[in-house]
Amino acid sequence: MAKKERVLVLGNQACVEGAIYAGMRFYAGYPITPSTEVAEGCARELPKIGGRFIQMEDEIGSIAAVIGASVAGLKSMTATSGPGYSLMVENIGYAYMTETPCVIVNVQRGGPSTGLPTKVSQSDTMQAQWGPHGDYTAITVAPSTILETVTETIRAFNLAERFRTPVTVLLDEVMGHSRQIISLPEPGEIEIFNRVKPTVSPEEYLPFEITENYVTPMPAYGEGYRYVITGLTHDQKGFTTNKPEEIAPKLHKLRHKIIDYKDEITKLRAEMMDDAEIAFISYGSVSRAALQATDIARKVGVKVGCLQLQTIWPFPDKEIAEICGGCRKVIVGELNMGQIVNYVRSALPGDIEVVPLQRYDGEILTPMQLIEKLEEVL
């Protein structure tokens, strides 16, 4: 086999590479640091492959265009950072309700408000699940290396198409703005999932039919299937409903199409966990510090392991309990004031101590800070 080409890839560009590999052909966005290179990459690459790039008037318009393009049949994406995500939230809720597949990339910076444009943070972790109001179950993936940014973006598209739902790719400033020499996946190397299309005639088609796995086949607008899309709670035909016997099944569908198939969504990377007495639990760029700290501490005989959450939402509670079951303590490292630490706490039995390690000064946790915390709890 020919040796793969090695290229230096910026995190944000890796996201573009993954999206195009997955079949993205529409991007609408409004540039914002530290996500701008995602828009730049899409503007450069999409026209070459017959795709469309639109710079919209703002983030509200961007996500609206993304939803529209997806309904019209294209795999669609937008990228932003915290302030832009906040503007998108209303329409992201619309995408949950209308079950429109799309990918939203949030390259996190410090907040709240315009916060710290060029500084790293993980303080939008909860927003990725709880941004819009209402009952729904979000899917969020979080890579920690440049190659993973490619593969997790592909996975985000696959999950969006499989479950007919928005999926958030949670990056952070360090992820978006660091580069690494990698070899990109070859065509065919990673499986691509495309949304299931209806096999029934347009007359028989129910656009929000509650199927066996809750996911309804989705035609593209213009293919002859005419139906209503509304953010109001709707019946299986898509028409607004106020009937309790139709409201509950719709909400049940939104939740159970995801939660009942969590095994297809959950992904974790466990390193040196087999005999670990203490575990670092983290996601995103912090996992790189945690892996380094684990490597360093193992060399002097400390039985420590590293667990990276590549899926953050739905929260992988069962898997964390399984992998960390033999630990005495876990250290949860985050670049915020504690957004997953209580989820970890409720996932684990009471005799495993959960120790938070939080940094929120615009800098990444260092391996030595993790080792200091390890020292404290040994």
Partner 1 sequence: MANKLLDKVEIPQDRYEMRFSGSGGQGMILATVMLAEAIGATDDRNVVQSQSYGPEARGGASKSDVVISANEIFYPKAMQLDFLLVMTQESMDKYYSDLKEGGILVVDTTLVTDIPTDNYYGLPFTRLAREEAGHIMVANVIALAAIAEITGIISKDALTAAVLKRAPKGTEEKNKKAIEIGFAEAAKLKKQKGS
Give the binding site for partner 1 (CB under 8 A): 6-8, 33, 117-118, 174, 177-181, 285, 288-289, 291-292, 295-297, 299-300, 302, 364, 366-368, 371-372, 374-375, 378
**Shortest Cβ 354–partner 1 spacing (Å):** 20
Phi-psi map region of 73: left, alpha, beta (phi>0 left; psi -120 to 50 alpha)? left
Q: Tokens 């709240």 map to which residue?
A: 112
**Shortest Cβ 240–partner 1 spacing (Å):** 46
> DSSP code of 337?
S
Contact (CB, 8 A) for 328 and 353 = yes
Kindly report the CA angle at 99 between 45 and 33, in degrees rounded to 5? Answer: 40
Long-range contacts of 235-241 (CB under 8 A, 24+ apart): 235/208, 236/206, 236/207, 236/208, 236/209, 236/210, 237/206, 237/207, 237/208, 238/207, 238/208
Q: Indicate the residue among 43 and 302 with the shorter CB distance to partner 1.
A: 302
Q: Indicate the residue among 207 and 333 with the shorter CB distance to partner 1.
A: 333
Q: Indicate the residue among 74 and 297 with the shorter CB distance to partner 1.
A: 297
**Shortest Cβ 370–partner 1 spacing (Å):** 10
**Shortest Cβ 102–partner 1 spacing (Å):** 29
Q: Indicate the residue among 205 and 280 with the shorter CB distance to partner 1.
A: 280
Burial 24-37 (b: 16+ CB within 10 A, else e): bbbbbbbbbbbbbb
d(CA 206, CA 202): 9
**Shortest Cβ 170–partner 1 spacing (Å):** 17
The two tokens of residue 294 are 């684990």
Q: Tell me the Cα Rg of the chain.
A: 21
Q: Indicate the residue among 223 and 375 with the shorter CB distance to partner 1.
A: 375
**Shortest Cβ 10–partner 1 spacing (Å):** 9
Contact (CB, 8 A) for 84 and 93 = no
Q: Indicate the residue among 32 and 354 with the shorter CB distance to partner 1.
A: 32
Q: Indicate the residue among 230 and 366 with the shorter CB distance to partner 1.
A: 366
d(CA 360, CA 334): 8
**Shortest Cβ 150–partner 1 spacing (Å):** 15
**Shortest Cβ 377–partner 1 spacing (Å):** 11
Which residue spans within the chain are E strands per DSSP?
Answer: 7-10, 24-29, 52-55, 75-80, 102-110, 116-120, 139-141, 166-172, 179-182, 268-271, 278-282, 304-309, 311-313, 329-334, 353-358
Contact (CB, 8 A) for 107 and 118 = no
**Shortest Cβ 296–partner 1 spacing (Å):** 5
d(CA 375, CA 366): 14
Q: Tokens 């026209």 map to which residue?
A: 47
Q: Indicate the residue among 89 and 296 with the shorter CB distance to partner 1.
A: 296
Contact (CB, 8 A) for 281 and 357 = no
**Shortest Cβ 189–partner 1 spacing (Å):** 20
**Is beta strand 116-120 parallel, antiparallel or unpaired with respect to 102-110?**
antiparallel
Q: Indicate the residue among 253 and 288 with the shorter CB distance to partner 1.
A: 288
Q: Indicate the residue among 211 and 292 with the shorter CB distance to partner 1.
A: 292
